[in-house]
Amino acid sequence: MKPTDISAPDYFHKVVDCQWACPAHTPVPEYIRLIAEGRYSDAYMINWRSNVFPGILGRTCDRPCEPACRRGRVEEKPVAICRLKRVAADFKDDIKHRLPRPSAKNGKRIALIGGGPASLTVARDLAPLGYHCTVFDSDAKTGGMMRSQIPKFRLPDQVIDEETDYILNLGIEFKGGQRVDSLKKLLSENYDAIFVGSGAPRGRELDVPGRKEAAQHIHIGIDWLASVSFGHTDKIGRRVIVLGGGNTAMDCCRTARRLGGEDVKVIVRSGFEEMKASPWEKEDALHEDIPIFNFMVPIAFTHADG
Ligand code: SF4
């Protein structure tokens, strides 16, 4: 048997299941201990270093750490790791003086395409090392899909503003309202490196009979959420059907409820357990009186009487 290699940091990380399951390997036990001592700012800073957006993630993370939590083996539910991150964010004091300072420039220029979490994280790590970072986004404000797709009742703008400002204040140049259409053109501007963090902003189409005829009454999930987020859409019909069983579908049905949908239903091809949406997202939809119908396959859109 091969001896265990304890010189590799992964060995110790794996001992803490929740920390290992977190894609950012956030030191979960450490910050929860600090919260227990009432040291919210310290707990926040531990999170900030590892996952960059603790206030945002404390509201929206898909929390792969929680199914890994060992308390889940002996209690009915795991420790509420995600929500505790929000506790640290909401109860902390002013932490601005604890953030890195903009440092002397090293002469290297980096262009970052997209103003969402990927580019902002790269900029956060490079700016304190002296790199001049310029972030481009087609939207006027930073945040990317965090701002445009996650409904405001789950993630208010103030939380996004606060945590993206921590990063912008490191001396990062933000060019809002500037969509990058040509990498060739950007390359000709003599950046030393270009980071593409544009995400995957395209929803799923459902091409079944009647799609074109009823197009005016059919919306693609992420586009519709963005339209609500930017204030272009502020109402919806009385009866709404949401097709799909992922987290976007859960955001759509709950948003439709808030925009006047009285009879909102979710239709899903798979069974309830197999749905892609996280269990707590499904629970929230059900609590808002939105029924979920499983094992139903859409075969056509029909549109009658207006
Ligand atoms: S809530 Fe998200 S960011 Fe926080 S520890 Fe869990 S997986 Fe990591």
The residue contributing the CA closest to ligand 1 atom 4 is: 82
Cα-based distances in Å from 285 to 62, 145, 242, 291: 16, 21, 12, 8
Q: Report whether pLDDT(14) > 90.
A: no
Contacts of 101 (CB under 8 A, 6+ apart): 128, 170
Supply the angle between the helices 117-126 and 157-168 in degrees, to the nearest 10. Answer: 30
Q: Report whether pLDDT(9) > 80.
A: no
Q: Report whether pLDDT(306) > 70.
A: no
Query: CB of 194 within 8 A of CB of 183?
Result: yes
Separation of alpha carbons 94 and 38, rounded Å: 15
Give 267's strand partners: 243, 293
What domains are defined for the chain?
11-98 (1.10.1060.10), 109-196 (3.50.50.60), 215-293 (3.50.50.60)
Question: What does the pLDDT read at residue 3?
Answer: 78
Question: What does the pLDDT read at residue 303?
Answer: 82
Question: What does the pLDDT read at residue 305?
Answer: 75
Q: Which atom of ligand 1 is nearest to the CA of 58?
A: 1
Question: What does the pLDDT read at residue 13?
Answer: 65
Pocket test for ligand 1, best of 35, 51, 247 (most atoms within 8 A of CB): 51
Query: CB of 200 within 8 A of CB of 248?
Result: no
Q: For residue 116, give the DSSP letter.
A: S
What's the mean pLDDT when you consider all of the chain? 94
Does the ipTM exceed 0.90? no
Tell me the two tokens of residue 104. Answer: 């002397």
Tell me the two tokens of residue 74. Answer: 């002996």
Mean pLDDT computed over 53-75: 95
Query: CB of 27 within 8 A of CB of 33?
Result: no
Report residue 12's pLDDT band, with 50, 70 and 90 as the boundaries. low
Share of the chain above pLDDT 90, in %: 87
Separation of alpha carbons 106 and 102, rounded Å: 12
The residue whose two tokens read 């929500």 is 83
Ligand 1 neighbour 86 (Cβ under 6 A):
no
Ligand 1 neighbour 59 (Cβ under 6 A):
no
Q: Report whether pLDDT(146) > 80.
A: yes
Which residue in 154, 159, 168 sits closest to 252, CA to CA?
154
Mean pLDDT computed over 182-192: 94
Question: What does the pLDDT read at residue 203?
Answer: 85
Contacts of 226 (CB under 8 A, 6+ apart): 148, 149
